[in-house]
Amino acid sequence: MSLPDSPGAYDLVVRNARVATAADVFETDIGVRDGRIAALARGLPAGAREIDAAGRWVLPGGVDAHCHLAQKTGDGSVMADDFRSGTRSAACGGTTTVIPFAAQLKGESLAQAVRDYHAVADGQACIDYAFHMIVADATPSVTNEELPALIDQGYTSFKIYMTYDDLKLDDRQILDVLYAARRHGAMTMIHAESSDCIAWLADRMLAEGLDTPPYHALSRPPVAEREATHRAISLAELLDTPILIVHVSGPDAIEQIRWAQTRGLKIYAETCPQYLFLTAADLEGDLLHGARCICSPPPRDEAAQQAVWNGLANGTFQVFSSDHAPFRFDGPGGKKPEGEHTPFNHVPNGIPGLETRLPLLFSEGVLQGRMDINDFVALTSTQPAKLYGLYPRKGTIAIGTDADMVIWDTGITRVIRNGDLHHNVDYTPYEGRTVQAWPAITLSRGQVVYADGVFQGQAGQGRFLRCDRPAPARPRRATRRHAPWLSALSRMDAWTDAGTAGDVGDAA
């Protein structure tokens, strides 16, 4: 705690806050100066502006580390949210930092993809943002030249795919990317589904005329996710390289991740709201009704939902993200490129969720006793910031951090209606669901961007964030003992630990 400063020293004072971080709960006033937290103490002198939290929870702003905004696609689909509408929606749901994807298409330069993404993002975002990269064409020039240079420039995480024809890498290419990540200190995210298993099933279903949305889920069974998850873990173990498995849907993949973690491998995991609040039954309905909930991996069943809740409670998961992938249900570029009879394999994958991510988990996780408030903060803010090189600027409430904070209303009753949300999508898969928590006020670097149901930010207010090399991406200390075959590769340990932030804990 800092001592009170002189009168007028603060641009803003948040009074009577009940603060929770990933580790602590305490009551305090919060003094903000120049967009950063300058003091934590009771009885701070008056600020130029004052907000009375009135004993409500004040939490670090959410870090949504997996969302898609204004992203290039290779199939003619068009994302409904750009950086203006997407970050507006995020702020209204309590998220103050987003990390979307600069996507490389096959045959393109990765560096050019990053430059192109800045062209659509800069000057548009309402809250702060960083970039992951998507590596879809792992040529030698990309892995040996472009990736190292981009990592040095603050793009220290990237995603690779084991499925989708226009994005997937084969195992050797994955090894090349993991090798670059290990040497240069980046975090690799992996979409783990077995492409050949899925294609084999889908082709046979489509040949039988089984082309409606429910068959999307049947064509991507848990075993396809389990096999790819195990293979991704094995490739990471071969190089002693940390990885993060994204959007894990159920017990088959969870068991593989937990198995790897208990062996001491640095395997991290993420899950998303759709795996807690949707099931395969949501893909059913007349014609393309279920297309609203088509995403990959697909939602499973209620037993899988419970397995995901268990994984959140026991530390298997380090991150809870939205995987916001916004395609409109009606209109061009959306979920129905071939009209009402679009086969499931031509429906753009993804569902919206930036604004509803935190209220859903707070309501059904914290308020229903499935997790404590510290775990909520860790999963939605602190650990994503650590895993992607943004901590401690983001992800906590402490002196010197950015003043990204959310004052929460709890014990309320609010029904989720798409008409009340601030994204540019014409539906929400959570329509009609009741929650008991919603942000009252969202602050981005000390500025109110949302209050009492009204968005108060503006485009261009958000800043681009260069990411540090994340400490969780460090290989294990005793690589030569864990993987003696690596001793032949003299350059494997080129990256040092200097200047990295703290790890995410003992879970992995």
Q: What is the pTM of this model?
A: 0.95
CATH number for region 59-455: 3.20.20.140
Structure confidence by residue, pLDDT tens digits, 265-308: 999 999 999 999 999 999 998 778 899 999 999 999 999 999 99
Helix spans in 268-363 (H)? 274-277, 302-314, 357-361
On the question of pLDDT at 486 being above 90, the answer is no
- Residue-level pLDDT at 502: 58
User: What are the beta bridge partners of residue 434?
Assistant: 415
296 Cβ contact partners less than 8 Å away, ≥ 6 residues apart? 163, 191, 193, 220, 247, 349
On the question of pLDDT at 507 being above 70, the answer is no
Confidence of residue 508 (pLDDT cuts 50, 70, 90): very low
168 secondary structure, DSSP code: B
Q: How many CB atoms lie within 10 A of CB 49?
A: 14
Confidence of residue 476 (pLDDT cuts 50, 70, 90): confident
Domain ranges of the chain: 59-455
- What percentage of residues in the chain have a pLDDT greater than 70? 94
Give the three-class secondary structure for 78.
coil
Confidence of residue 480 (pLDDT cuts 50, 70, 90): low
* Ramachandran angles phi, psi of 453, nearest 5°: 90, 0
On the question of pLDDT at 491 being above 70, the answer is no
- At 106, list the tokens: 């096959």
Which residue do the tokens 């208990």 mark?
262
Alpha carbons 113 and 101: distance in angstroms, whole number: 10
Confidence of residue 479 (pLDDT cuts 50, 70, 90): low
**Are 60 and 30 a contacting pair, CB within 8 Å?**
no
**Are 369 and 362 a contacting pair, CB within 8 Å?**
no
Alpha carbons 493 and 486: distance in angstroms, whole number: 10
Averaged over 13-20, what is the pLDDT?
98
Structure confidence by residue, pLDDT tens digits, 175-200: 999 999 999 999 999 999 999 999 99
**Are 195 and 162 a contacting pair, CB within 8 Å?**
yes
Give the three-class secondary structure for 46.
coil
Averaged over 312-338, what is the pLDDT?
96
- Residue-level pLDDT at 191: 98
**Are 354 and 93 a contacting pair, CB within 8 Å?**
yes
- At 463, list the tokens: 């800043």
Q: Within 13 A of 114's CA, how many CA atoms are on the CB side?
A: 23
- At 496, list the tokens: 């040092």
Confidence of residue 242 (pLDDT cuts 50, 70, 90): very high
CA distances from 374 to 20, 270, 317, 366 (A): 6, 17, 14, 9
Q: Is 484 exposed, middle or buried (0-12, 13-18, 19+ CB in 10 A)?
A: exposed
On the question of pLDDT at 493 being above 70, the answer is no
Report the chain's mean pLDDT, rounded to a whole number: 94
- What percentage of residues in the chain have a pLDDT greater than 90? 90
Q: What DSSP line would sit under 169-202, residue for residue?
A: --HHHHHHHHHHHHHHT-EEEEE---HHHHHHHH
Alpha carbons 335 and 67: distance in angstroms, whole number: 18
Residue 499 identity (one-letter amino acid): G
Structure confidence by residue, pLDDT tens digits, 91-118: 999 999 999 999 999 999 999 999 999 9
Q: Which residues of 121-133 are buried (b: 16+ CB within 10 A; e: fewer)?
A: beebbbbbbbbbb
